[in-house]
Amino acid sequence: MKKWQCTVCKFVHEGDEPPDKCPVCGVSGDKFILLEDPPDTPDTQVPEKGPEPAAVSAQTTSGPEATTEPEDDQPEAPRTPYEKIVHLLVKHHAHPVSVHMPNGILPVSVALFILAWVFDLGLFVKAGFINLVFVVLAFPLVLFSGILEWKKKYAGGLTLIFKLKILAATVTTTACIISVIWYMADPLVLETSLAWVFILLNIVMLAAAGVAGHIGGKLVFKD
Ligand SMILES: [Zn+2]
């Protein structure tokens, strides 16, 4: 059975032909490349390790000529400090790591607002607001690392799944910032006639964060 890999999300499809479109990221079938199976088996790789030290020493002694070597393995080796940071962030999964902070706090914050609204608890409103501030503080790294990962791992592909993810992230961020500013402008917002709008805004924010997380899981786990 032939194996085809999506060049955008790395999903592997087994079959004689590539699929019409990628079931994970949605790009068309022409973005699939045929994977060659035999060279990857461990048997063929072991003997290659023998001559490696000689090759390395040859490279180090050959001086200027070594610049032609690295092309096949790492076409975009990080050079500037910024590129090095980007490389490290993507390599160590900064996006899923950083996303856990706001995703852990968001539901608590929304629950506190709802409880405060239903049971008229002033302290809970404050607690909800303070929690939400930490969510806002986490956003720059979450969004930055998300954009980096999208560009590096998925070549900035703009199929439906990525559009939905960007939309969900935008809704979450916008709703969160509006909630924080709204509370700062009117700390008694939950006692006004617009309290339900504030609560609804927070529920939409939570739902959008859930959608973004769901799509992220789909991309990572390919199912
Ligand atoms: Zn794909």
pLDDT at 9: 87
Residue 81 has pLDDT above 80, yes or no: yes
pLDDT at 58: 43
| Beta strands, E only, the chain | 3-6, 12-14, 32-35
CA of 24 to the centre of ligand 1 (A): 5
For residues 99 and 209, is the Cβ–Cβ distance under 8 A?
no
Residue 40 has pLDDT above 60, yes or no: no
Eight-class DSSP state of 16: S
pLDDT at 39: 53
pLDDT at 94: 92
Residue 187 has pLDDT above 80, yes or no: yes
C-alpha separations of 158 from 24, 105, 109 in Å: 13, 29, 32
Distance CA 220, CA 223 (A): 8
CA of 156 to the centre of ligand 1 (A): 12
pLDDT at 75: 54
pLDDT at 17: 93
**Two tokens at 153?**
């791992």
pLDDT at 10: 85
CA of 2 to the centre of ligand 1 (A): 17
Dump the DSSP string for 14-47.
ESSS--SB-TTT--BGGGEEEEP-GGGSHHHHTG
Residue 201 has pLDDT above 50, yes or no: yes
Identify residues whose C-beta is under 5 A from ligand 1, the ion: 6, 8-9, 11, 22, 24-25
pLDDT at 61: 43
Q: Give pTM, 2 decimals.
A: 0.76
What does the pLDDT look like over 2-26, one tens digit per residue? Answer: 999 998 888 899 999 999 999 888 8
What does the pLDDT look like over 102-143, one tens digit per residue? Answer: 999 999 999 999 999 999 999 999 999 999 999 999 999 999
Residue 56 has pLDDT above 60, yes or no: no
CA of 36 to the centre of ligand 1 (A): 18
CA of 219 to the centre of ligand 1 (A): 8
What does the pLDDT look like over 158-177, one tens digit per residue? Answer: 889 999 999 999 999 999 99
Name the residue with higher pLDDT: 24 or 54.
24
CA of 11 to the centre of ligand 1 (A): 5
Dump the DSSP string for 79-103.
-SHHHHHHHHHHHTTHHHHHHHHHH
CA of 75 to the centre of ligand 1 (A): 22
CA of 177 to the centre of ligand 1 (A): 32
Where are the chain's structural domains? 3-60, 83-221
Report the mean per-residue pLDDT for the chain: 85
* Average pLDDT estimate for 180-199: 97
